[in-house]
């Protein structure tokens, strides 16, 4: 059923009871109807609340058990009341023997509130709440024995008994209503709905108790009268709480985290109860015209209550000390674990840092291996392809920054590509085998490594061909560099092991980049390498053991738009001129295709191209 249907059910029960109370005259029939109705409603309330114990949460089980216990005690009082009025057919005596049970049945409901199942607690907190409950139970029982019982047994006085019971019972009801309202306000979810219904039931019960107490003392109350209407409404509402809770099924999803300020009110009430006993001693001793027997009784009762409460406080303090020691040990253990974890974390961090550096080193080694020719140990073609774009871009940016100046006369440091090929290398493989040829390539790479500068890049281009990229080079100084390469290669025989010694020469072809300073973007760096390869082909075709460079001629200055790789490769001397370096019998000479070129090589870069 939805909440509005439960409300309708409660209203229907109340309306039926009102109709019977108004229409039926005071008689044994009305009394029987009233007593049995209240017993049935309380019985269903107890069963409905008890049915909620089947839950996996221990705090919820304790909450519903205490609520069912309170309703069960209330049901027992009502059944005893019914026994007097229905079966014995006599008025219930005042004072009533079951008044103490009627008074104390509210204490388990207060204890249920103290459990607060909507708040997460550990087992230690639950034990402390249980002790606080027993302290409160002892205190309320002490108050009843102190205020009410003396006028029932020690010095019987019906008027004093009625006043004391009504005041104390009213105070107990007010505490219950205030506690339920406080918990209702601070809860959420399904538990907030349950506490809301609990608040309404407690409020009706409080009003009905006050009205019924006054009517009993003034001898106006009878069972089945309109004074019972709020009481029956409260009973029906307690039954609705149980049925409503079964529909909501509150579980762990509505549990709130513990909050210290909200969970201390039970403990504070318990301690206030302990500290109130000295004030009760003062009241017992100086309480006006109270009979001596009552004062003596109250003093003895207070002393006994102080002993019981003191024992409970001692037990609570002992549990708190044990928990404190446990927390201190746990804190120490956690601190030791944190220190251990910190040391392990630092060790792992150092290990991770070392492994990271080692991984970087391995990556660099792998990268270097991937860029290195495994046979000769020099850079491979992939490495050149990786750096060529950046190298060529830097050179072109230098020319772009010099835009507008006399580019021909500026001291640019360009790139020069030199292709080196070992002459008649195939003969070594054919006569001595490929391992010997591999050894020759290694020795050639060693000799070329002695010629190049640290800033130059020596690359095995493929087979017996090597490429040298000379950085920050002057094209007019390249013939001298080429001459050194030819001289080093032919200076002495290569010792290939096993008594094999061969004398080898090489052929060199080179081209600068930019190829023309006036048209520095005419061909790219890759095309300049192809042009150097073309020059190498011409050197090998011209007899080997020589170097040839392809440089711009006067015609390229007049027609820079005609400069393309294909035009330069097939040019007959209009756009290009060739610089030739030969090494014959240890004497070197430079020649050019024109006398002016030879003169230009002698003068170096001071001669315009």
Evaluate whether residue 138 is within a structural domain. yes
Pairing of strands 506-513, 546-552: parallel
CA dihedral sign, ordered 321, 323, 327, 333: positive
* pLDDT single digits (tens) 92-131: 887 888 888 988 888 888 888 877 787 765 555 666 667 7
Cα 460 to the center of its chain, rounded Å: 53
What tens digit of pLDDT does each residue of 308-325 get? 888 888 888 888 888 888
**How far, in Å, CA of 160 to CA of 121, rounded?**
44
Residue pair 506/422 in contact by the 8 Å Cβ criterion = yes
Looking at 327, 346, 366, the residue that finishes a domain is 327
Question: Checking phi first, is residue 589 left (phi over 0); if not, alpha (psi -120 to 50) or beta?
Answer: beta
* Residues in CB range of 399: below 8 A, 6 or more apart: 407, 412, 514, 517, 520
The C-alpha atoms of residue 48 and residue 468 are separated, in whole angstroms, by: 97
The two tokens of residue 394 are 């830097």
3-state SS assignment for residue 65:
helix
Q: Which residue bears the tokens 């950085």? A: 471
Write the CATH number for 427: 3.30.70.270
- CA–CA gap between residue 69 and residue 50 (Å, rounded): 9
* Domain end position, chosen among 287, 305, 327: 327
Q: Where are the alpha helices (DSSP H) in 249-291?
A: 260-263, 265-285
**pLDDT at position 157:** 87
Distant-in-sequence, close-in-space partners of 133: CB < 8 Å, separation ≥ 6: 110, 111, 114, 266
Q: What is residue 152's predicted lDDT score, i.e. its pLDDT? A: 84
Residue 163: per-residue pLDDT:
85
- Specify if 81 maps to a domain: yes
Pair 467, 561 in one domain: yes
Q: How far is CA 191 from the centre of its chain?
A: 30
Q: Sign of torsion, CA 570 571 575 576? A: positive
The kind and range of the H/E element at 565 are helix 565-569
Tokens representing 50? 């008890």
Parallel/antiparallel/unpaired status of strands 576-584 and 465-473: unpaired
Q: For residue 532, tell me if it sits in a domain.
A: yes
Give, in degrees to the nearest 5, the angle at Cα 255 between 253 and 259.
150
Residues 137 and 202 in one domain: yes
Are 297 and 414 in the same domain? no
550 contacts 576 by C-beta, under 8 angstroms: yes
Distance (Å, rounded) from C-alpha 329 to C-alpha 313?
24
Q: Which helix (H) or strand (E) holds 437?
A: helix 434-451
Tell me if 198 sits within 8 A of 185, measured CB to CB: no
pLDDT value at residue 57: 78
Q: In the chain, what is the straight-line distance between the N-terminal and C-terminal CA atoms, in Å?
A: 105
b (16+ CB within 10 A) / e for 210-241:
bbbbebbbeeebbbbbebbbbbbbbbbbbbbb
Residues 120, 121, 123, 127: what is their CA dihedral angle, to the nearest 10 degrees? -130
Integer CA distances (angstroms), 185 to 107, 268, 566, in order = 21, 19, 92
Alpha-carbon span 326 to 340, nearest angstrom: 21
Give yes or no: residues 191 and 315 share one domain: yes
- Does residue 452 sit within a domain? yes
Q: Is residue 237 part of a domain?
A: yes
Closest alpha carbon to 438 in 500, 368, 365: 500
Whether 307 and 387 share a structural domain: no
Return the pLDDT at 591: 44
Same domain, residue pair 522 and 414: yes
> Which of these three, 306, 327, 348, is where a domain ends?
327
Identify the segments of the chain with pLDDT beneath 50.
Answer: 1-3, 252-255, 258-263, 585-609
Domain assignment of residue 404, yes or no? yes
Distance, in Å, from the CA atom of 113 to the CA atom of 492, rounded to the nearest integer, reads 107
CB 582 within 8 A of CB 545: yes
- Full-model pTM: 0.53
User: How far, in Å, CA of 311 to CA of 397, rounded?
Assistant: 94
CA distance 242 to 219: 35
Tokens of 490: 């032919």
Helix (H) or strand (E) holding 461: strand 457-462
User: Are 12 and 87 contained in the same domain?
Assistant: yes
């002057």: which residue's tokens? 474
Q: Are residues 213 and 313 in the same domain?
A: yes
Are 183 and 312 within one domain?
A: yes
Strand, coil or helix: what is 173? helix
Q: What total number of domains does the chain contain?
A: 2
**Domain carrying residue 410:** 381-606
565 and 463 assigned to the same domain: yes
In a domain, 367, yes or no: no
**Same structural domain for residues 112 and 240?**
yes
Of 237, 289, 74, nearest to 169 (Cα)?
Answer: 74
Q: Are residues 293 and 406 in the same domain?
A: no
Tokens encoding 279: 């004030």
Distance CA 609, CA 597 (A): 9
The helix or strand, by DSSP H or E, that contains position 496, with its residue range, turns out to be strand 494-497
Give domain status of residue 368, yes or no.
Answer: no
């Amino acid at each position: 059923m939805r909440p509005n249907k439960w409300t309708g059910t409660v209203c229907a029960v109340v309306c039926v009871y009102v109709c019977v109370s108004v229409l039926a005259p005071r008689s044994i029939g009305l009394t029987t109807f009233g007593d049995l109705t209240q017993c049935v409603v309380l019985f269903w309330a107890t069963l409905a609340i008890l049915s909620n114990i089947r839950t996996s949460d221990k705090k919820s089980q304790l909450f519903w058990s205490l609520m069912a216990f309170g309703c069960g005690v209330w049901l027992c009082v009502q059944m005893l009341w019914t026994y007097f009025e229905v079966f014995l057919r006599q008025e219930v005596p005042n004072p009533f023997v079951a008044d103490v049970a009627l008074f104390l049945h509210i204490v388990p409901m207060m204890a249920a509130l103290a459990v607060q199942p909507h708040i997460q607690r550990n087992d230690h907190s639950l034990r402390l709440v249980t002790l606080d409950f027993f302290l409160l139970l002892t205190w309320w029982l002490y108050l009843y024995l102190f205020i009410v019982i003396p006028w029932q047994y020690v010095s019987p006085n019906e008027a004093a008994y009625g006043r004391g019971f009504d005041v104390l019972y009213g105070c107990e009801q007010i505490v219950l209503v205030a506690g339920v309202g406080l918990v209702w306000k601070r809860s959420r979810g399904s538990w907030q709905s349950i506490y809301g219904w609990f608040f309404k039931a407690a409020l009706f019960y409080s009003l009905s108790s006050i009205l019924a107490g006054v009517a009993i003392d003034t001898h106006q109350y009878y069972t089945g009268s309109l004074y019972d209407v709020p009481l029956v409404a409260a009973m029906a509402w307690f039954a609705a709480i149980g049925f409503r809770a079964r529909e909501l099924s509150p579980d762990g999803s509505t549990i709130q985290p513990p909050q210290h300020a909200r969970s201390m009110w039970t403990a504070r009430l318990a301690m206030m109860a302990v500290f109130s006993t000295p004030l009760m001693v003062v009241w017992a001793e100086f309480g006006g015209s109270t009979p001596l027997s009552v004062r003596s009784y109250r003093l003895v009762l207070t002393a006994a209550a102080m002993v019981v409460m003191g024992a409970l406080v001692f037990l609570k303090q002992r549990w708190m000390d044990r928990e404190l020691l446990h927390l201190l040990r746990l804190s120490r253990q956690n601190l030791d674990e944190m220190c251990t974890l910190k040391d392990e974390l630092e060790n792992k961090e150092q290990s991770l840092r070392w492994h990271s550096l080692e991984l970087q080193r391995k990556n660099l080694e792998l990268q270097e291996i991937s860029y290195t020719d495994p046979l000769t140990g020099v850079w491979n073609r992939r490495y050149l392809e990786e750096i060529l774009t950046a190298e060529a871009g830097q050179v072109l940016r230098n020319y772009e920054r010099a835009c507008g100046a006399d580019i021909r006369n500026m001291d640019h440091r360009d790139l020069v590509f030199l292709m080196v090929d070992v002459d008649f290398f195939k003969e070594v493989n054919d006569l001595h085998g490929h391992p010997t040829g591999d050894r020759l390539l290694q020795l050639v790479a060693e000799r070329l490594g002695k010629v190049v500068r640290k800033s130059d890049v020596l690359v095995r281009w493929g087979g017996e061909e090597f490429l040298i990229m000379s950085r920050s080079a002057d094209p007019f100084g390249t013939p001298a560099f080429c001459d050194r390469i030819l001289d080093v290669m032919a200076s002495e025989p290569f010792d290939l092991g096993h008594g094999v010694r061969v004398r080898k020469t090489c052929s060199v072809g080179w081209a600068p980049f930019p190829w023309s300073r006036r048209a520095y973007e005419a061909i790219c760096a890759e095309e300049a390498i192809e042009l150097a390869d073309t020059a190498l082909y011409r050197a090998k075709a011209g007899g080997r053991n020589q170097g040839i460079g392809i440089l711009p001629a006067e015609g390229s200055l007049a027609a820079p738009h005609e400069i393309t790789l294909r035009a330069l490769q097939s040019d007959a001397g209009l756009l290009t001129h060739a610089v030739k370096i030969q090494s014959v019998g240890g004497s070197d000479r430079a020649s050019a295709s024109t006398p002016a070129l030879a003169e230009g090589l002698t003068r170096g870069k001071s001669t315009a191209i």
